[in-house]
Chain A
Amino acid sequence: MSDPAPLAVALQGVTMTYRTNGHAVHALAGIDLTLRQGEFVCLAGPSGSGKSTLLHLIGSLDQPTSGTIRVGEQEISGLSRQESALFRRRATGFVFQTFNLIPVLSGFENVEYVLLLQGVETSERRQRVMAMLAAVGLAELADRRVTELSGGQQQRVAVARALVGNPPLVLADEPTGNLDSTNGESIIRLLRRLNEERGTTVLYSSHDPRIIAWADRVLSLQDGRITEDRQQTGHP
């Protein structure tokens, strides 16, 4: 039997409590979780179950109330703003439900921005962006403003942007939530393919059974707790 893949993400006793109108809201209530490199994992659960909060914490967009979070070799709970930004730049790629592209830039420029932050040289930058846009099937539309693209095309640009920096971890928060079923399936198929081709660990959230079905592993969240952690095989 082969050795298990190295740990990509490890959470221990992670809690997240918000204060709203003087009331404490426990968004996450003691999460212990490990993800291994190359896994394609879905966070499943209803709205308000804590899926987005968990993704934000793993992506260092927010800090936990308590507990520790390790991504790769780096402990990320307690990082400063600057350190968090540099961590995200290097180690994560985000895909959002609402695409969140920069509307005044073209598809090419949106994807390129990540490599600019990383300080990649011009010629390599161009080659990698075009390769990534080709991988998501948008090479022909690279120079078009993203506002002129369809929702499905915009999310493909967002996927390309998340992956172009070669991050070891991609976090996708309801990546198909704003798409029709055809485009939604197309996007999850794309993420799955890139996960298999590149070995990138992907953690995405969804409450759509057809999208959940694509994961190797499903973590069910309910009221800020992982209620089920199951492996599944034979994705579509």
Chain B
Amino acid sequence: MMTTNSPGHPPSLSLLAVHLRIALRNIVRHQRRSLLTIAAVAVSVFCLIVFQALLAGLHQKMVESALGLDTGVVQLHGADFSRNRTRLAPLPNPEIIAPAFKAAGLTRFAPRLKAPALILAGRHSSSVQLSGIEPEQEAQVTLVRQKMVQGNYQLGPGQILVSQGLADALGLKTGDSMTLMVQSLFGQAKTGKFTVAGLFATGLDSFDQSHVYLSLATAQTLLEAEGAITEVAASCPPAEADELATRLRRQLPAGRFQVQVWQELAPDLAQLMELNNATFRMLIFILFAIVAMGIANTMTTVIFERFREFGTLTALGATPKNIVSLVLTESLLLGLFAALAGTLAGIAATAYCARYGIDLAHFTSANQYFVAGSVLKAVVTPHDLILANGITLATAVAAGLYPAWKAAQLNPVKALAHV
């Protein structure tokens, strides 16, 4: 007895399999045209993957550099802290802070005591930002230790770190003495004499000219702020900043502290990254609009060449949906091959760029976004690969929709008469 589905049932898997076979064989049959289309789309996929990986690498470098100078990824201040205020604002209950950071999962953090200061060296002087740091903890958050060019990073009592640029400007060298003038916690002018223990050079002149470091204990003594700190900076993967900041807030008494993440601390960086992403998305949109036109053009040619075939299938009882399925299968298959080729080439190129990188030193001037190094390395993630392939396949299907609809709307009599 004959077994059939009732009319109007969705196409069976077997029918889809035959459509796949027809599509595949037609792609092979028209090798040159198929290869050209696949190559064009594959180049776009390749560009998407490589650009995305380079952009991710660029953002990683920017974040690493900009936040690694001083800011960190998460910062803790007192509730009444304001960046515009010059008065020292020590954190309340400093003894609960370290346990709170650890409990929140922030293991790399550095307590600081910051205050404005004036350097006096012979006939020279310069206003700077003084940071009292725990050198070992600070090195887990910022890049200063990596940027030492002379002397010792480990600060002892009576020692100070200044930048190479500032030392040159003040006529100082390692081992020389200079005087720091500050306003103490109680508002009194205080001075201290310090020996230059080491010189650093981040490459960012504006930063180098305005930052000096004492050990935390030395700074606390100078500022008459025994046991006080004004901020704690922590380092963690930027993507985890919000979650870790939330956990940290839960560990601290409400209303006495403020916890800020890097987007609040460095809004210009976050905005620049958003701008980069928006520009990239526009570029990809244009690229894939061109891809879509390429596929649509190929599929329109396919339809034109196979008018009679579609007319025949219609005569056999293929519904408009069956015809759409057949055309879209071919379009999707072209996209699939292109995605595969583009992805393989993209992975190879990004693997190379991830290993050897691209040195941007010759293309950019020194700026805060390349302090950590000028070699841009690609960062490719499974998410980006899936996204690139998803966009390609969606574009292939979208590009095939109009030709598929046209094929489904063909007048079968005219299609059968087509020569």
Q: Which chain A residues have a beta carbon within 8 Å of chain B's beta carbons?
A: 56, 59, 61-62, 81-82, 85-86, 88-90, 94, 96, 98, 100-105, 109, 112-114, 116-122, 124-125, 161, 165-166
Contact = CB atoms under 8 A, between A and B. Distances in A.
Given A82-B320, A104-B22, A61 B9 contact: no
A51 B330 CA distance: 36
Contact of B8 (A81, A86, A116, A118): A86
Contacts of A112: 18
Contacts of A125: 14
Contact of B5 (A62, A104, A114, A118): A118
Contacts of B9: 119
A104 B15 contact: no
Nearest to B312: A100
A115 B21 CA distance: 16
A116 B12 contact: yes
Nearest to A114: B316
A59 B319 CA distance: 14
A111 to B, nearest CB: 10
Contact of A166 (B2, B12, B18, B317): B2
Contact of B12 (A102, A119, A124): A119
Nearest to A80: B320
Contacts of B5: 118-119
27 contacts: A61-B315, A62-B411, A85-B317, A85-B320, A88-B314, A88-B317, A89-B7, A89-B316, A89-B318, A90-B317, A98-B308, A100-B311, A102-B312, A102-B313, A103-B29, A104-B21, A104-B22, A114-B316, A116-B18, A117-B316, A118-B4, A118-B317, A119-B4, A119-B9, A120-B4, A122-B14, A166-B2
Contacts of A94: 312, 315-316
Contacts of B22: 102, 104-105
Nearest to B28: A104
Interface size class of B (residues with CB under 8 A): 35 or more
B3 A124 contact: yes
A113 B16 CA distance: 11
B26 A104 contact: yes
A-B CB proximity, top 9 nearest: A89-B317, A119-B5, A104-B25, A100-B312, A85-B319, A86-B7, A88-B317, A116-B15, A61-B412
Interface of B is mostly: helix
Contacts of A122: 14
Nearest to A104: B25
B309 interface: yes
Contacts of B26: 104
B405 to A, nearest CB: 12
Contacts of B309: 100, 102-103
Contacts of B316: 88-89, 94, 113-114, 117, 161
B413 interface: yes
A56 B309 CA distance: 16
Contacts of B8: 82, 86
B379 to A, nearest CB: 43
A118 B7 CA distance: 8
Contacts of B322: 85, 117
Contacts of A104: 21-22, 25-26, 29
A94 B316 CA distance: 7
A109 B24 CA distance: 14
B236 interface: no
B2 A114 contact: no
B416 interface: yes
A120 B2 contact: yes
A124 B316 CA distance: 19
Contacts of A119: 3-6, 9, 12
A82 B318 CA distance: 9
B314 A109 contact: no
Nearest to B18: A116
Interface in B292-321: 308-309, 311-321
Contacts of A88: 314-317
Contacts of B21: 104-105, 109
Nearest to B320: A81
A81 B323 CA distance: 12
Nearest to B314: A85
A59 B9 CA distance: 22
Of B18, B315, B411, the most chain A CB neighbours within 10 A belong to B315
Contacts of A105: 18, 21-22, 25
A86 B14 CA distance: 18
Of B5, B26, B316, the most chain A CB neighbours within 10 A belong to B316
Contacts of A61: 314-315, 412-413, 416
A114 B317 CA distance: 8
Given A86-B7, A102-B22, A117 B312 contact: no
Contacts of B2: 120, 124, 166
Of B5, B25, B313, B416, the most chain A CB neighbours within 10 A belong to B416
Contacts of B317: 85-86, 88-90, 114, 117-118, 165
Contacts of A124: 2-3
Nearest to A119: B5
Contacts of A81: 319-320
